[in-house]
Amino acid sequence: MTGIEKLHAAIRFDMVKKPIRQRGFLRPLTWILSFPTVWKYRLRIHRHRMEGVEPPYLLLCTHHAFNDFKVTTAAIFPHRANYVVAIDGFIGREWLLRQVGGICKRKFTNDVQLVRQIRHVLVKHKDILALYPEARYSLIGTNAVLPESLGKMVKLLGVPVVMLNMHGNYLHSPCWNLTPRGNRLEADLSQIFTPEELATATVAEINGKINEAFSYDEYRWQKEHGIIIDHPKRAEGLHKVLYQCPHCKSEYRMESEGTRITCGACNKSWEMTTLGELQAVVKASDEEVLYTEFPHIPDWYEFERSQVSQEIERGEYAFSCEATVDALPNAKRYIRLGTAKLTHSNQGFILEGEFDGEAFRLEKPVPTMYSCHIEYDYFNKGDCIDLSTLDDTYYIYPHGKEFSVTKLALATEELYFAFKKSPRG
């Protein structure tokens, strides 16, 4: 069978099946897998307004790295929880993830069924529902945009809302370089809404308070707490996120190795210090003064966002390339479909091509995606972006070097913001 024939024949992941209450015999396993790690990295949990808070409740968690799940397990001990997990997390282990309470979600889709699954956990099981609404690991150690629908869902559920804001997980293994750094971890566990407070709050007020609770900056936290990270490759991979030189404005020419990030166009170089700051160490030319544009790393990322926003405002933003496409209809395996054309513009995403003689087209208009999910060197196949429908997820690997999936993610968000501010939004 061809790839497209396999996709047509594939049985889709059963998103309707009721979530299972975490099996009692597996609870010790979750503790065994979690506690050695959090003990090793000296996790400290600070609790606020948690007196008397018992399941069922909604647990909103920041999302930094794989250790998030271990910290969450320690934070709610000895209680059990159901977790919302992206479909790629189920690959090859669907049975196990369902048994430990996993609920499948295709990222950045409007999935009404998920709300039903969450209500089932809270109302029928009377357990904790753990949700990571940022829907991807933090790219640069700061909080990501949250869905506007979150406040409406929270108000509908009417249960206590608890926030788990984690610190150190991103610094320990950032998504652009997963090599562990060994730093200590902390977390703040706080009740941000009682049911009574939810009943009197508006959706806008709920969203406002949730966004405030989600605020974090890992590099600021590192500096304020004097956390030394002297890993010899602490900057390696950082160019995946910092793709545009702030000095010469060149895109896609950044490189990183060891403790330095360098622009291949103008040759200016910056050193990442052991406290997570950048310092310019090589000038672009002998005539220039050595100047550090962005000592605070997230400021560089926000500079890139502003550049993308200006492109959109000028009507100049556009991206198009050939890309390899894999499909994930269920939790069994990826299906290689072939090569298609990926386009991103003020109309949104369009993926179109011909797979084994059959025409294919996927459209994701701007209003349907407030953000998107990207991966760096995903399973050693390259950087990718994934686009989902309710039935399928497509992993798209652009060809060549003149692109950045980080820019695609920023452009998705900025196009959505621009649409919301327009008369059409």
Q: What is the pLDDT confidence band of residue 424, given thresholds at 50, 70 and 90?
A: confident
- State residue 287's pLDDT score: 80
Q: pLDDT-derived band of residue 123, with 50, 70 and 90 as boundaries?
A: very high
| Secondary structure (3-state) at 324 | strand
C-alpha distances (whole Å) from 227 to each of 135, 166, 230 are 27, 15, 10
Please give the pLDDT value at position 110: 84
- The per-residue pLDDT for 111 is 84
pLDDT tier at 377 (50, 70, 90 boundaries)? very high
pLDDT tier, 352 (very low <50, low <70, confident <90, very high otherwise)? very high
Rg over alpha carbons for the chain, rounded to the nearest Å, is 22
286 vs 378 pLDDT, higher one: 378
pLDDT in tens, 20-35: 999 999 999 999 999 9
Task: Look at residue 160 in the predicted model and tell me its pLDDT.
Answer: 98
Confidence of residue 370 (pLDDT cuts 50, 70, 90): very high
What distance in Å separates the CA atoms of residue 137 and residue 143, rounded to the nearest whole number?
A: 9
Query: What percent of the chain stands above pLDDT 70?
Result: 100
286: pLDDT confidence band, cut at 50, 70 and 90? confident
Say which amino acid occupies 317: Y
**What is the predicted pLDDT for the residue at 81?**
96
Q: How far is CA 309 from CA 303, 346, 356, 368, 418, in A?
A: 10, 12, 38, 19, 9
pLDDT digits (tens, 9 = 90+) for 170-181: 999 999 999 999
pTM of the shown model: 0.95
Confidence of residue 39 (pLDDT cuts 50, 70, 90): very high
* Contact (Cβ atoms closer than 8 angstroms) between residue 169 and residue 185: yes
Residue 337 one-letter amino acid: L
Helices marked H in 237-355 = 297-313
Give the E-state strand segments of 26-133 in sequence order: 44-48, 57-61, 81-86, 102-105, 128-131
At residue 114, the pLDDT reads 94
Give the pLDDT confidence of 397-417 residue by residue, as tens digits: 999 999 999 999 999 999 999
pLDDT value, residue 326: 98
Q: How far is CA 144 from CA 62, 138, 152, in A?
A: 9, 7, 19
Mean pLDDT of all residues in the chain? 96
Would strands 269-272 and 260-263 be described as parallel, antiparallel, or unpaired? antiparallel
Containing 196, the helix (H) or strand (E) segment is helix 195-200
CA distance 147 to 130: 16
For position 414, what pLDDT does the model report? 98
Domains of the chain (ranges, CATH numbers): 15-224 (3.40.1130.10), 238-313 (no CATH), 319-421 (2.30.29.30)
pLDDT exceeding 90 applies to what percent of the chain? 96
pLDDT, mean of residues 53-81? 97
Asked whether the predicted pLDDT for residue 425 surpasses 80, the reply is no
Using CB atoms within 10 Å of the CB of residue 330, give its burial: 0 to 12 exposed, 13 to 18 middle, 19+ buried: buried
What pLDDT score was predicted for residue 285?
87
Per-residue pLDDT tens over the stretch 226-263: 999 999 999 999 999 999 999 999 999 999 999 999 99
pLDDT one-digit tens code per residue, 329-351: 999 999 999 999 999 999 999 99
